[in-house]
Copies of this chain bind each other. A is one copy, B any other.
Amino acid sequence: MVKTALKLPQYELIKQYLRHQIETGEWPIGYRTPSEPKLAEQFSVSRMTARRALQELADQGLLSRTAGSGTFVAKPNLQVASIEIIDLVERARETGYYSNRLLGIEAVAPSRQMTELMLLDSKQPVYQLNMLHLERNCPLVLQQLWVNTALAPALPKQTFKKVTPDAYLDWIAPSTRVDYQLMAVSPSPEQQHQLTLTGQGSSLCMQLNRRCWRHQQVLSISASVIPAAFYQLGHNLL
């Protein structure tokens, strides 16, 4: 079966035209585009079809519209950063050389700071979990994880030999939003020992903090310490 040139809907054709005018600079930033009725006449379509093209590009941030005034080419205002957070653990699991060591898991009373971070109102306990992830028996990530007991009550029943805590949580309660924070740190002596880091130059780590949300609630907080040599946020650049 040969895939023939597919017929695009009319609103897509209009979108292409609008995008072209913007990307070539024919319509500079602030330029007032044709109005819905005029676009409709130009392309011999109804106003609602022309409207759809304008609306979708506006939703996408390319245009900006104000009732009564018109539609204008928007300044690409807040830079839409594309960042890819590489999940080292997930990548290692795919290669098949992954293993881990559960260093500890217990239900504890959260610190005041943790109570604020996780938006816990009562004196509800949290699961605190320490785990070392390895690739080819080489320490890769030292992770500290706090989990909302209300959202994952059965967490301590898991062994995490085959499924990581993150994968388990993603299974029972997928995140709807994630906040990240990243910084360079010098690991503590204990962390250096757990990561079997020796000496000077190698003691350079990244710490990746992560907060996973499930709608209005905080599901988990994670702090991962990773030897800098392993970590790179994004790739192929420089």
Residue from B117, B185, B216, B234 within 8 A of A181 (CB atoms): B234
A 170-187 to B, binary, CB cutoff 8 A, 1 in contact else 0: 000011111111111110
Residue A211, interface by CB 8 Å: yes
- In contact, B83 and A237 (Cβ under 8 angstroms): no
Chain copies in complex:
2
- In contact, B178 and A80 (Cβ under 8 angstroms): yes
User: Smallest CB–CB gap between A70 and chain B, Å?
Assistant: 21
Residue from B177, B209, B223, B233 within 8 A of A182 (CB atoms): B233
Give the interface segment out of A9-17, A34-42, A100-108, A200-208.
Answer: A200-208
Residue A190, interface by CB 8 Å: no
- In contact, A174 and B81 (Cβ under 8 angstroms): no
User: Smallest CB–CB gap between A74 and chain B, Å?
Assistant: 10
A 189-228 to B, binary, CB cutoff 8 A, 1 in contact else 0: 0000000000011001110010100011000010100001
- In contact, B235 and A181 (Cβ under 8 angstroms): yes
Least CB separation from A208: chain B residue: B233
- In contact, A183 and B231 (Cβ under 8 angstroms): yes
Least CB separation from A176: chain B residue: B76
- In contact, B80 and A177 (Cβ under 8 angstroms): yes
Residue A85, interface by CB 8 Å: yes
CA of A231 to CA of B235, assembled, Å: 20
CA of A178 to CA of B178, assembled, Å: 20
Residue A121, interface by CB 8 Å: no
Q: Which residues of A contact B (CB under 8 A)?
A: 23, 29, 59, 75-76, 79-83, 85, 113, 117, 174-186, 200-201, 204-206, 209, 211, 215-216, 221, 223, 228, 231-235, 237-238
User: Ordered nearest first, which 10 A-B pairs have the shortest CB separation?
Assistant: A184-B228, A181-B234, A182-B233, A184-B184, A181-B237, A23-B215, A76-B176, A79-B178, A209-B238, A209-B237
29 A-B residue contacts at CB 8 Å?
Answer: A75-B174, A76-B176, A79-B177, A79-B178, A80-B177, A81-B85, A81-B180, A82-B177, A82-B179, A82-B180, A83-B179, A113-B238, A117-B237, A117-B238, A179-B234, A179-B237, A181-B235, A182-B182, A183-B228, A183-B232, A184-B184, A184-B204, A184-B206, A186-B201, A204-B204, A209-B234, A209-B238, A221-B238, A223-B238
